[in-house]
Chains A and B, each alone.
Chain A
Amino acid sequence: MPITWPPKLLRSPAVRVGLSISVATGLYGVSFGALSVTSGLDFWQTMALSLLLFSGGSQFAFIGVVAGGGSGVAAMGAATLLGMRNGIYGMQLNALLQPRGWRRFAAAHVTIDESTATSTGQSDPDEQRRGFWAAGIGIFVLWNVFTAVGALAGGALGDPKQWGLDGAAVAAFLGLLWPRLKGREPVAIAVVSALATVLAVPFVPAGVPILIAAVVAAVIGWLSHGRQDEGLEPDIDPYTERHPGHHPGAGQYKGNGTNPGGAK
């Protein structure tokens, strides 16, 4: 990245999108921090997830399984399966940004839904690079700051059920799912997975129904032919966030011909 004066950097559209998405995403780190400590993790376990795992969906999955009485292995399974899509993002970004040396390892750590979407939403290679780093670093910093705030606040709350924090977890997962339900097919996949979960709950240990649903959804993905970037929408779309009312499908800005995985 060329060294530029901050005022010039702030005039970059990609940097501005990256910073606004950082604030929006960082803020919901509060809910993660609070839910994590009320799920039974301590402050440092909560911080370890935000600092080292750093992928919102996987972090919520880990604490969601623990909160439901699931084992550590099941929590790890759900978090790890949910992280697979970051590998696809890494492949797209590697083709797009071609980071070299240590930057490649740093880029990998901040490869998440939002940094990928900010970058692939730009068409100029320099802007793609600036957008990726602005969103990636910005979210990493704010996500961790607000996780700490939430963890400290959550620890002081007392009985989490009285405050409806189990309801907050339900809302958080629905909020993560919602932007991915564009069209009939993803809705069908969601319904089938939810049904498989409900059927499995009485018969297998807590946490395992989630893994069964993952296998069901993976088989559907393997056998059917549909949009290749199904489900690969960011939790908070950087571009609809700025232009409410306009709602592009992820494929519209991912399939710009320069990335191998994002063809429509």
Chain B
Amino acid sequence: MSLWVWLLLSCLFAYAWKLVGYLLPDSLLQNPRMSRMAGTMTIGLLASLTIVNTLASGQALVLDARLGALAAAAAALFLRAPFLVVVLAGAGAAALLRLAGWN
């Protein structure tokens, strides 16, 4: 039940961000630092989410089949595969490595 609360609050804040750009006068948001910060934070968050999902298991760092998923996804992206193919490559690599006995 409490996950619902955080989920709906996330939806509310997401819409608030979007609407802020339309409702506030341009001059308030023209600060180039705000725009840069939004961009660098996007890169930082996505990099962090990538590495957390690859290495973290709770509070432990582990090397497992997900490392193979990262490598396969990078290869697919390097070959300019579409997003869905990248995701399938990651899933396939992890599944195959587990089948081969590496958890």
Taking beta carbons and an 8 Å cutoff, which residues of A are in contact with B?
24, 27-28, 30-31, 41, 45, 48-49, 52-55, 57-58, 60-62, 64, 66-69, 71-73, 75-76, 78-95, 99, 104-105, 107-109, 111, 161-178, 180-181, 186, 189-194, 196-198, 201-206, 209-210, 212-214, 216-218, 220-222, 224, 226-232, 235-236, 244, 260-261, 263
Closest Cβ of chain A: how far from B27's Cβ, in Å? 9
Number of A-B contacts (CB under 8 A): 356
Closest Cβ of chain B: how far from A155's Cβ, in Å? 16
B48's contact among A171, A181, A204, A210, by CB below 8 Å, is which?
A: A210
Q: Is the CB of A186 within 8 A of B77?
A: no
Q: Is the CB of B15 within 8 A of A109?
A: yes
A217's contact among B43, B74, B92, B98, by CB below 8 Å, is which?
A: B43
Interface size class of B (residues with CB under 8 A): 35 or more
Per the bound structure, the CA–CA distance linking A232 and B39 in Å amounts to 5
Per the bound structure, the CA–CA distance linking A31 and B70 in Å amounts to 16
B83's contact among A28, A54, A108, A192, by CB below 8 Å, is which?
A: A28
| Residue of A whose beta carbon sits closest to that of B26 | A260
By a CB distance below 8 angstroms, the chain A residues around B36 are 221-222, 224, 226-228, 230
Closest Cβ of chain B: how far from A83's Cβ, in Å? 4
